Amino acid sequence: MINEVYEYQKLVVQNRIVRAATNDYCGEEDGSISAKQIDLYRHLAQSGIGMIITGNFFIAEDGRLDSNQNTIDERFDHDGAKLLCDTVHTYGSKIIFQISHAGRKTKVSELLAKHFDSAQEIRDEEIDTIITGFAEASRRAKESGADGVQIHFGHGYLLSELLTERKDGVEIASKLFKAVREIVDIYPVLVKVNTDIPDYIKKNFYKCCEKYAIWAIELSGSDFIQKTKKEHLYYVKDIQICKDSCNVPVMLTGGLRNKEDIEKALSKGANLVGMSRPFICQPDLLTNLDTEGSRCVSCNRCFHIYKERKQHCAMRSE
């Protein structure tokens, strides 16, 4: 099952394994793509991952999370992005650009983060600008050769805040999908969303995804950081909830650490499975998946260790 080819809306993926979006803290300060990033993605693609979702690109300066994050606003590094896509494609892997607005999590300034703190106070004109930002970002991704985009509706970022804290949250999502579709037409558009949101929002959102022919819904949550090494398959029960609500393929991410976890997720109905920390720990994990599971201990040091000592994982010295 793991190695079965997956095809949906004409996009063919060589197996069911996805590297979930992972910020690598290696972009250039001006938001362009660094040589180090090209290398990182080359290693991932070489190891046989079916699809790689990039770390989140910010769609506007006020939605920037991190100083070494890549931009997909008007300063987008088109040549770097094209090289990134070509590099991944050389090894038969697919590449999806994740696009985001960090909202209250932005580190641009405390004042700005505070401004986004109340979902109710974000003005309609601002929401329109943000929607245009996502649509334009999707266009840039498509032009650079990416196989699709993933819109980040999870982890407390702006779209997840709007979706869950405003009465018109699903309406905003619908407006955004419409704007994206108008600009990219038929093109794989994925979403990542938290499962720990109220049921009625979740189900309406899933239906909205179906209406706009979303390529896949990635099930996630904000609580993955609190999970212990012993916990696996954090969001597995949501596969069925999603499948019962809409006819959109599902990708499950969070706490998949070995072949058994992956097979279980697929047998429960996931079309694809995502892993993030296991690939930080072992970019070539797939080459020995049959004999051993991931060495990742879910310590979460990968969130800061690169800035401290230019190392990606506490479990490997590089």
Ligand X SMILES: Cc1cc2nc3c(=O)[nH]c(=O)nc-3n(C[C@H](O)[C@H](O)[C@H](O)COP(=O)(O)O)c2cc1C
Binding site for ligand X (CB under 6 A): 20-23, 55-56, 98, 152, 155, 192, 220, 224, 253-256, 275-278, 302-303
Beta carbon of residue 127, minimum distance to ligand X (angstroms, whole number) = 21
Closest approach of ligand X to the CB of residue 124, in Å: 26
Nearest-approach distance from CB 233 to ligand X, in angstroms: 10
User: Which of residues 16 and 155 has its CB atom nearest to ligand X in the complex?
Assistant: 155
CA distance 116 to 77: 27
Whole-number minimum distance, CB 230 to ligand X, in Å?
13
Rounded Cα distance between 158 and 28, Å, is: 24
3-class SS letters over 3-33:
CCCEEECCEEECCCEEECCCCCCCCCCCCCC
Between residues 90 and 287, which has the closer beta carbon with respect to ligand X?
287
Cβ-based burial of 290 (10 A; exposed 0-12, middle 13-18, buried ≥19)? exposed
CA 302/CA 304 separation, integer angstroms? 6
Find the helix or strand (DSSP H, E) in which 100 lies.
Answer: strand 94-100
The residue among 164 and 276 lying less far from ligand X, judged by its C-beta, is 276
Containing 77, the helix (H) or strand (E) segment is: none
- Fill in the amino acid letter for 271: N
The residue (of 39 and 171) whose beta carbon lies closer to ligand X is 39
Contacts for 229 with CB less than 8 Å, ≥ 6 apart: 297, 298
| Least distance (Å) between residue 197 CB and ligand X | 15
- Is the Cβ of residue 289 or residue 302 nearer to ligand X in the bound state? 302
- Find the shortest distance in angstroms from Cβ 271 to ligand X: 17
Q: Which residue has the tokens 């950081």?
A: 225
Token reading at 277: 């920390």
Nearer to ligand X, 142 or 277 (CB): 277
